[in-house]
Amino acid sequence: MTARRSALGVAAWTLLLAAAWLLGQVKLAQAEGNLQLGAMPLYGTWEWRLDPSLLAPIAVGALIIAFVPAACARLRWRYAAAVTVLAGTAFSVALAFAHAHPATWADLDNHYAGHVHIVDDAGGAGPFLAGYIDQQLAGAYSVHLQSHPPGLVLFFWAAARIGLEGLLFQNIVVKLAVAAAIAAALTIGRDVAGERLARRAGPFLALAPAAFWQNNADTVFAGVTLTAVACLILATDRTGARSAALTVAGGLVAGAALMLSFSAALLAIPIAAVAVWRRRWGVLLGGGALAAAVVLAPLLWGYWWLDGLHATRERYYAGVASLRGYWYFLLANLAVFALALGPATAAALANLRDRRMWIVVGSCLAAVLVADVSGMSSSEVERIWQPFVPLVLLTGAALTRPRAWLALQLAVAVVLAAALRVQW
């Protein structure tokens, strides 16, 4: 029965991808402009490239398959978690090394860190915040700045003032965020579903096709947002000073995440699901109040988060989203997300029976559906939905013989690295 469910899950995964591709060709044929999707429905172009750099992810992936399942099963928890985090970060670095596009390592610089001069041009952080929304609406900023709150630009501006700048620093930030996202997901899985299932999920957090797209700002958003989610979920299972400290930390980091990305708000759904299940209303209220305080603070300088969201939506539909449309991407977005998760996750979803793990995974999938129907994700979700990926990868706990499934995940990731050319 398990084999049959797995086969059905992989078959559904394959059919979803095939349907998105076939309908995508129809969409391209009927398009009245350039959808900027040369690998429809993926962003980028298909350009096969076989060279020695592909040996990096193959080698790292092979080591993960050989050693990480055993390490997760046998080592003490802290060491098992450390191995998982290090392995996942190494796989992300290896895929970036094998990436075909010369702009891979410069994505943060091109879209955020390279624009910190606009803060000084505005007269400092206060005037920059005061005029940010007007500049968004005028189309004065690059596409990425028009689509997000000002938090990441301000972070790199502040970092540059103390001497932390350049491509090395930027890429360290990205890979630290990869590590934080994996660690947060492992922590959440263990706290909600128990250590046994978290250990079984570990190798699948370390090796997934989604790692191919972990070289950009959305990876940073994922690390910060999932850290906040982990703190608040941990707070729901503790009492006294420990719960209070975790609530404070989680609420403040959640507020910071909201100032980085509007989509961070959707990961309140898993927090709420666990808090309601555990009947810990105080964590919800306390964490929510602190997050709101962080979001409200820029009002002192004239920036209001909801106005920023409205401006982002206006600019989004003034751009290529108006050409791409809505209905096709309701399906295509889910297909691309499924590709990033890999076929093993499809098989795991078909086999997952643990109710506690479903609280985490199901609530995260609910957040994905909200993002899908919102109309703010017309493609490019392989990047935009990175914050949702680690929590769904926890479904790997349902696969009791992981190595063959991990090999399949590796194969998909390597094919992406060999065939897809994208600048992030």
How is residue 365 written in tokens? 């999938």
DSSP structural state of residue 42: B
- pLDDT of amino acid 1: 59
Share of the chain above pLDDT 90, in %: 93
The distance between the two most distant Cα atoms of the chain, rounded to a whole number of Å, is 65
Share of the chain above pLDDT 70, in %: 100
Burial 205-228 (b: 16+ CB within 10 A, else e): bbbbbbbbbbbbbbbbbbbbbbbb
Say how many CA atoms lie within 13 Å of 356 toward its Cβ.
14
Say if CB 204 and CB 393 are below 8 A apart: yes
Q: What would the pLDDT profile of 49-75 be if each residue is shown by its tens digit? A: 999 999 999 999 999 999 999 999 999
Reading the chain (424 residues) residue by residue, the pLDDT tens digits are: 589 999 999 999 999 999 999 999 999 999 888 999 999 999 999 999 999 999 999 999 999 999 999 999 999 999 999 999 999 999 999 999 998 888 999 999 999 999 999 999 999 999 999 999 999 999 999 888 999 999 999 999 999 999 999 999 999 999 999 999 999 999 999 999 999 999 999 999 999 999 999 999 999 999 999 999 999 999 999 999 999 999 999 999 999 999 999 999 999 999 999 999 999 999 999 999 999 999 999 999 999 999 999 999 999 998 888 899 999 999 999 999 999 999 999 999 999 999 999 999 999 999 999 999 999 988 999 999 999 999 999 999 999 899 999 999 999 999 999 999 998 8
Q: Return d(Cα 332, Cα 326) in angstroms, integer.
A: 10
Q: Return d(Cα 100, Cα 240) in angstroms, integer.
A: 51
Q: What would the pLDDT profile of 356-378 be if each residue is shown by its tens digit? A: 999 999 999 999 999 999 999 88
Helix and strand totals (H; E) in the chain: 22, 2
- pLDDT of amino acid 142: 87
Say if CB 200 and CB 354 are below 8 A apart: no
Q: Return d(Cα 6, Cα 348) in angstroms, integer.
A: 7
Alpha helices in 216-352, H assignment, sequence order: 217-236, 240-258, 268-278, 281-296, 305-318, 321-324, 327-341, 343-351
Say how many CA atoms lie within 13 Å of 267 toward its Cβ.
37
Q: Return d(Cα 343, Cα 15) in angstroms, integer.
A: 11
Q: Return d(Cα 154, Cα 168) in angstroms, integer.
A: 18
- Cβ-based neighbours of 376, under 8 Å, separated by 6 or more: 262, 263, 313, 316
**Burial label, 60 (beta-carbon count in 10 A; 0-12, 13-18, 19+):** buried
- pLDDT of amino acid 322: 87
How is residue 160 written in tokens? 């540059």
Q: Phi-psi category of 92—alpha, beta or left, where left has phi over 0 and alpha has psi -120 to 50?
A: alpha
- Number of residues in the chain: 424
Task: For residue 209, report the phi and psi dihedrals to the nearest 5 degrees.
Answer: -55, -25
Say if CB 244 and CB 287 are below 8 A apart: no
Q: What would the pLDDT profile of 281-323 be if each residue is shown by its tens digit? A: 999 999 999 999 999 999 999 999 999 999 999 999 988 888 9
- Domain positions in the chain: 2-214+303-421
How is residue 221 written in tokens? 């958003």
Taking residue 372's Cβ as centre, other Cβ atoms within 10 Å add up to 19
Task: For residue 281, report the phi and psi dihedrals to the nearest 5 degrees.
Answer: -65, -30
